[in-house]
C-alpha cells in the first residue's frame, strides 16, 4: 500500500517513517501527478496558512478534493485545519470535513503539551485500548462536528481532538511524534 504525505511544509518525514513501521510505503506528494498512484493521503502538521497557500500555488486543491472522493485522507494538526469546512481564520481550506476548527486554540508554542487520550477506535476488537500519548504543538481545537462525523477522542474536559467522517480523519495532535503507530494503522484500515 502506498500512502502519500503532503510534503509542502511541516513534518512529513515523520509520517513517512511511521507509515513504514505500520507496513505501508510513504510517498512524498508535492504536485498533482504525485497523487496518481497512492492509496490515501496524509496532510501533516506545520503552518496551516503556508500549507494552504502552497497547495493553491501548486494547483493541489481540486486534485486532493477529487482524491478524497475515493481514498482516505487524514489531517494532523495543521492538516486538520486544512481539511475543515470552516476555520476561524482567513486561509485556503479543502472544505472536505464538516468540522469547525480554531487555530492555536491552546495558546502559543510555549503552551504546547502532552497528555494521554482514551481512543476506543484504536482497540480494533482487542478490548479496552491502552491510552494514546498525544503531543499538542500550537494545536487547533475541533469546536464543532457535523452530523456525519464521529468523535474519536476528547480531552478530559470534553474538548474534541480527533474526528472521523467516512474516509476522512482529523487529529489536533501529532501521532507521528510519539513512536506509537496505532493511529497510522487505524488510518490504513480506512482503506479496506
Catalytic residues: 77, 174, 176
Side-chain half-sphere of 101: how many Cα atoms within 13 Å?
A: 36
CA nearest to 131, candidates 104, 154, 157: 154
d(CA 28, CA 116): 30
Q: Which residue has the cell 487529529?
A: 171
Residue pair 188/141 in contact by the 8 Å Cβ criterion = no
Q: Where are the beta strands (DSSP E) in 49-140?
A: 73-76, 84-87, 97-102, 113-117, 132-136
Amino acid at each position: 500500500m502506498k500512502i502519500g504525505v503532503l510534503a509542502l511544509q511541516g513534518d512529513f518525514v515523520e509520517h513517512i517513517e511511521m507509515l513504514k513501521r505500520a507496513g505501508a510505503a510513504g510517498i512524498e506528494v508535492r504536485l498533482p501527478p504525485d497523487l496518481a498512484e497512492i492509496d490515501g493521503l496524509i496532510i501533516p502538521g506545520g503552518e496551516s496558512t503556508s500549507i494552504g497557500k502552497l497547495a493553491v500555488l501548486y494547483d493541489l486543491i481540486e486534485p486532493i478534493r477529487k482524491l478524497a472522493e475515493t481514498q482516505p485522507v487524514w489531517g494532523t494538526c495543521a492538516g486538520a485545519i486544512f481539511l475543515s469546512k470552516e476555520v476561524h481564520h482567513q486561509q485556503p481550506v479543502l472544505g472536505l470535513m464538516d468540522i469547525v476548527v480554531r487555530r492555536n486554540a491552546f495558546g502559543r508554542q510555549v503552551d504546547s503539551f502532552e497528555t494521554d487520550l482514551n481512543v476506543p477506535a484504536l482497540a480494533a476488537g482487542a478490548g479496552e485500548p491502552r491510552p494514546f500519548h498525544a503531543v499538542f504543538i500550537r494545536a487547533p481545537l475541533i469546536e464543532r462536528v457535523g452530523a456525519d462525523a464521529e468523535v474519536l477522542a476528547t480531552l478530559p474536559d470534553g474538548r474534541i481532538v480527533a474526528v472521523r467522517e467516512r474516509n476522512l480523519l482529523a487529529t489536533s495532535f501529532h501521532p507521528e511524534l510519539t513512536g506509537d503507530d496505532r493511529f497510522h494503522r487505524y488510518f490504513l484500515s480506512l482503506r479496506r
